[in-house]
Structures are given as C-alpha cells and as structure tokens.
Amino acid sequence: MASSFAWLALILGLGVTGALDYNIQANSSKLLRVLNASAPVQELKYHIDVWRNEEALVAVEATLESVIRSEIGGNWERGWLVLQLANQARTPELKEAIYSALWKELQQTTQIYDPAKILEFHEQLSLHTDVPQELLELIYRAFINRSAQLLEAPFHTRSRVATFPLVDSLVHRLTFSTLDYLRDILEALYDAVLALETPLSVVERLGNFSASLIQLAEANLQLLGREELKRADTQVQLAVQSNLRNLLAHPDFELQVPYSLQSEIYEHLPRDEQIMYTARKVCIRNVTDANSYIYECPQTYLICSNARDPKKAAYFVQRGHSNDSRQQFAFFSAFWRNRYILMEPFTATASNASHSSITKNVYSRTDINWWRVVYGNGGISLYDAATEKSVLCGGDPSYWDGEEHHVYTRHASEFSAHQTECTWSLEDCSDAA
C-alpha cells in the first residue's frame, strides 16, 4: 500500500517538477498530460479507489493542489485549461481536488477582489455536473459578498457627482444574470449600509444609481421591504416615492420592467397616482360633489360638469411623454364617438375679448390632447401639457349656461387662489361598460 502511494506521489511529483522546472507552455504541461492522457488517468483512478483511507486522500489532494497551483503559476487564465481537463479525470475525488485547488488558487490571486471573476468561475463550474454543491455555494456566497462590498462604496460617499466605474461595470455585468443574484447582493448590501448610514441617505444614494430600470425597480422595492424603512419617517417614504416616480417617468418603463414589478411599484404610490397607472378607465369628478362628473355637455361639444353616469364619464387613460421626457396623459372616450378632452390653445384675442381670467376652451374633440397631471390638495390638477400655462377648473355657476355647466381653464398662476375650483377627484371607472 505504502509503495502504491509513493508511486502516485511520484507521478504527481513529476508533474510538480515539470511545472516548476521550465515555465512550461500549457500544452506541454506534465499535469495536463497526466490528466489528459487516458492511461495515467485510469491509473490515478485505480490508486485513489484503492486508497480509501483518509490520510492518503488528504495527501493526494494536497499534492494535486500544489501541482495545479504551480501549473497556474499566478496566471489565472491558465486555470480555464485545468478546469477543462477536469473532465478527463475519472474519479470524483480527483475532480473535486481539481475544483478545490482552482478555488484556492483564485482566492490567492488578486482576481478574488473582482466579483465578475468569481461569477465567471462559478458559471464555468456550474457547467460541470459533478461539482460538490457546498463548493458551489461557497463560491456563490463569496461572489455575493464581494459584490455587496463593491456596491457599498457609493453609499458611503458624500459627493453626489462622484462616479464609480467599477460599480457601473459590475451592475452592467449583472444584467446578464438572473435577478436572484441581484436580490442576494442587495440583501447583503443593505445589511451593511443600513447599519452605518441613515435610511434617508441610503434612499437618496439609490436615487443616483445608474442601472437598468429593472434593477432600479428591484433595488427600490427591496429597500422598501426592509424593517429599517418601515420604521422610517415620512420624509424617507417621500424620498422613495420620488425614486419610484423617476423610474415611472422613463419612456421605456412599461416596456422594460416586468408587469409584476410595475404593480408593486404602483402600490407604493398615493391612491390617485396609482389609479392613473393601473386603471384602464377613469372618471374625473368634483372633490366635494359626488354628483358632478366631467364629460361632454348636453347640447354642445364643450365639456361640462354633469350628473353621475359612469358610462358617459369613463375615459380611457393614455400615457405619453413630452419632449423633455416628462409624463403626460390623454383622456379618450369611446362613448363620446372616440373623442378626447381637449383644450384649445389660448389665443390673445380670446383672452382680451372676455376681459376675464377664465377661458371656455375645453372641448370634446377627435384630436389627441395631452395633460400634465399634478397630485396634491386631496386630488389632482390638470394642466395643459404643451405650455403648462392653463389649469382645468369648474364649478363656478356664473360661467354656466342653463343646463350646460361648462368647465373652463384659468391661468396656471391663479391655481393657488382657486384650489377648490381647480382640483379634481379621480375614480377608477375601469368597470364602466
């Protein structure tokens, strides 16, 4: 028995000598030849199978490890060759020894500081069906830990204009992997940064992160799920909402972010805002008068405040983006012969003629017309998206005409003086026939 082991050590020993002697090319490596050639592999298998006692196995692995490590000689790229050849080693022990040796080697090189290298190794190893699960998990954990460490940097930096190219490239690399990796990294990241920084600071930093929309959606939602955030004050909640709004406002948001994540985001917005994104159709009505909805007037093509009638009052919501990529909305009615709620551009003559600060220029028309929605004061306000100089108001009987309870626009600057006239309540009317 002892002599068999000596023989095995001799083969591997030769490998060591060969590797150390002449800074060999990968192709002429003794080790690779030993592992590659069929005969010696079978011999190795035979000897390892015979040598089932612990002591001997440890010795074999230790020797193999040193052979492999001298083979790689600090040049990690050579590790891929060794890994390829692991397929040629026919005993599980030998394969495992190769995998472990490679992992040890990776930890010795400076590459271990680069999460992308660990991830690459993990992915390569995962292609082999016989890698021990514990080893894979250890490597995965190391990848998660290193990634989280790297991502911590921006969260501990006061400057909001500092750039982090390594963080950016890691984040970009992660776009090619499953979202689960990101989730695990974020969990480790938040453990660390929330221990040292305030929740508000963490939320604001995240607001400055550059990453894909999906990643940012996931990162903000995961942060919201943390106990530290649930305990935080309203200022923190508002900061998160601001992050979420920036995502929503992105023209590609609906295209890129999976619907399940979108819905989760909407749930964290105030009710009216949520409705603007989730409702297929909305009704717009007076905040205090539950029997006053806007839709086409009884006799004209102007828009009026009318009695409650969900069928007539339900408008499809269309979302768009203006030049500056901010969001805008249009309200379309199938009931009213495919017309939109439209504000005619404000003309100088019209305003001068009336000598009034209000203008009756809101119609039911076939052309699309965009509105900017502002949330607040217990409801929403609608400004014309093109100029943002007019706001939609109603309810003052002196501008009505019999049964025609016309709505009208005021100059945007008058909003604060006429808040109740220019704030509306939003209802989800998706179910209206």
Ligand X SMILES: *[C@@H]1O[C@H](CO)[C@@H](O)[C@H](O)[C@H]1NC(C)=O
195 contributes a contact to ligand X by CB under 6 A: no
Q: Check residue 352 for interaction with ligand X (CB under 6 A).
A: yes
Out of 63, 262, 305, 364, which residue is the one contacting ligand X (CB under 6 A)?
Answer: 305
In the numeric block, the tokens 């604001």 are attached to: 204
Q: Which is nearer to ligand X, 56 or 151 (CB)?
A: 151
Of residues 133-172, those binding ligand X (CB under 6 A): 138, 141-142, 145, 160-161
260 binds ligand X (CB under 6 A): no
Position among 181, 277, 415, 424 found at the interface with ligand X (CB under 6 A): 424
Q: Which is nearer to ligand X, 33 or 226 (CB)?
A: 33
Q: Which stretch binds ligand X (CB under 6 A): 21-29, 227-235, 306-314, 358-366?
A: 21-29
Nearest residue to ligand X by CB is 395
Q: Which of 14, 20, 24, 26 is in the footprint of ligand X by CB under 6 A?
A: 26
Q: Give the residue with the Cβ less far from ligand X, 265 or 284.
A: 284
Scanning 24-32, 222-230, 250-258, 330-338 for contacts with ligand X by CB under 6 A, the matching segment is: 24-32
323 sits near ligand X (criterion: CB under 6 A):
yes
| The 3-state secondary structure of the chain, one letter per residue | CHHHHHHHHHHHHHHHHHHHHCCCCHHHCHHHHHHHCHHHHHHHHHHHHHCCCHHHHHHHHHHHHHHHHHHHCCCCCHHHHHHHHHHHCCCHHHHHHHHHHHHHHHHHCHHHHCHHHHHHHHHHHHCCCCCCHHHHHHHHHHHHHHHHHHHHHHHCCCCCCCCCHHHHHHHHHHCCCCHHHHHHHHHHHHHHHHHHCCHHHHHHHHHCCCCCHHHHHHHHHHHHCCHHHHCCCHHHHHHHHHHHHHHHCCCCHHHHCCHHHHHHHHHCCCHHHHHHHHCCEEEEEECCCCCCEEEECCCCCEEEEECCCHHHHCEEEEEEECCCCCEEEEEEECCCCCEEEEECCCCHHHHHHHCCCEECCEEEECCCCCEEEEEECCEEEEEECCCCCEEEECCCHHHCECCECECEEEEHHHHHHHCCCCCEEEEECCCCC
**Residue of the chain from 36, 87, 237, 278 that contacts ligand X (CB under 6 A):** 36
Q: How many residues bind ligand X (CB under 6 A)?
A: 30
Nearest alpha-carbon partner for 342 in 318, 376, 378: 318
For residues 3 and 204, what is the distance between their CA atoms, to the nearest angstrom? 68
Decide: is 289 part of the binding site for ligand X (CB under 6 A): yes
Choice from 107, 126, 177, 288 touching ligand X (CB under 6 A): 288
Stretch that binds ligand X, among 56-64, 108-116, 250-258, 347-355 (CB under 6 A): 347-355
Told to check if 413 binds ligand X by CB under 6 A, we report no
Residue selected from 217, 342, 395, 429 as contacting ligand X according to rule CB under 6 A: 395
Q: Among the candidate windows 99-107, 125-133, 283-291, 365-373, which touches ligand X by CB under 6 A?
A: 283-291
The least distance separating ligand X from the CB of residue 242, rounded to whole angstroms, comes to: 7
Window of 126-134, 214-222, 228-236, 282-290 that interacts with ligand X by CB under 6 A: 282-290
Binding flag, residue 27, ligand X (CB under 6 A):
yes
Cα 181 to Cα 172: distance, rounded to the nearest angstrom? 13
Q: How far is the CB of 347 from ligand X (least distance, A)?
A: 9
CB of 377 to ligand X, least distance (A): 11
Minimum CB distance to ligand X, residue 3 (Å): 28
At which residue do the structure tokens 């397929």 appear? 87
Q: Which residues bind ligand X (CB under 6 A)?
A: 25-27, 32-33, 36, 138, 141-142, 145, 160-161, 207-208, 286, 288-289, 305, 323, 348, 351-352, 386, 393-396, 420-421, 424
